[in-house]
Structure 1
Amino acid sequence: MDKPTHVIEFETMLLGRYSLSSRRGRLRLERSAYTLLSRLSGEGPMSIGQLSDALGLEASTLRRQTAAMMRDGLIDRIPDPDGGMARRFRVTSEGEQRLDSDRADSVRALDVIMANWSPEDVATFAAYLERFNTDIEHYHGRPWPRLAPSALPDRQGQRSPG
């Protein structure tokens, strides 16, 4: 590994192997459901076509994922608020609760994993990771909406006050 990009490729491959929560006794969201719920939560109701464009997935894959998520009560289908023909998917209160709970578990795990890091190192890593992801999104032409810090859950899983 003679280039730093070789190390980055290897380390991102390893990162993809891990889940940040080791919670037992309650079902965690599947990775695909977590991603889809995160997108719908951040952007609002979306059609299969919009989700396909945003996530770079085939419509058939999204139909299977959304059908399973509807059966689990995580999302529901609504008429297009803009009056279009396609129906859109939106996150249910159960979906928001499960997403917030899983996200809070992940943040708690990161707090443990990074407990020996200085606050400055954590902030620097967060900034570089956001920059890295943003550059990947631009490379693929699929930007991801970023939540304002006040919209992110705090350590107890509650949304921060405005």
Structure 2
Amino acid sequence: MDKSTHSIEYETMLLGRYRQLTAPRLRSDGDQLDRSAYILLSRLEMDGPMSIGQLSDAFGLDPSTLNRQTSAMMRAGLLERIPDPDGGIARKFRVTAEGGQRLRSVRERNIRGLERVLEHWTPEDAAAFADYLRRFNCDIERLEGRPWPRP
């Protein structure tokens, strides 16, 4: 393994550690979302309503895990179950107005945190970093066989 791979491993470990700085959680408001809810809501926002089976395929998770997560999110008012808009048998999950509002609020807070970190970067450096992150994630998705939708 070359030195770059070791460096990337270490820096991605640190990136996970610094998540609270770049994506702060404010305990005083009701807009916080745990990581799994944030990711699931983001996916439904991009793809629209999805069934447990579709979510299982998209995330590579066991349906029982997704049942627990979606049940908790429904109790919190973030998701609702609806009939399949395409007429299929399986019911699908859709983001509620509350879920969409909380997702937007947390995303804005994440963006503000990243802007604080990147405030001394040139626009070109920030764009190059974003391009490399996208490329890195796309290669992971290619290896997993699970592409992720992007805006």
Smaller-chain TM-score bracket: over 0.9
**How far has the Cα of 1:83 moved from its partner?**
1.3
- Kindly indicate which of the two structures has a greater share of residues assigned to helix: 2
Structure 1 residue 39 corresponds to structure 2 residue 43: yes
Matched-pair identity in %? 64
Partner of 2:24 in structure 1?
21
The structure 1 residue matched to 2:74, chosen from 70, 74, 92, is 70
Deviation digits for residues 104-158 of structure 1 (CA, Å, limit 9, x no counterpart): 00000000011111111101101111111111111101001111xxxxxxxxxxx
Q: Counterparts of 1:75-94 in structure 2 under 5 Å?
A: 75-94=79-98
Offset of residue 63 of structure 1: 0.3
**What amino acid maps onto 1:106 in structure 2?**
N
Structure 1 residue runs without a partner (length 5+): 148-162
**Unaligned regions of 5+ residues in structure 2, if any?**
none
Shift of 1:14: 2.1
Amino acid at match of 2:3: K
Over 2 Å off, 4+ runs: none
Q: Give the equivalent residue in structure 2 for 1:155.
A: none
Q: CA deviation at 1:16?
A: 2.2
Aligned-pair Cα RMSD in Å: 1.3
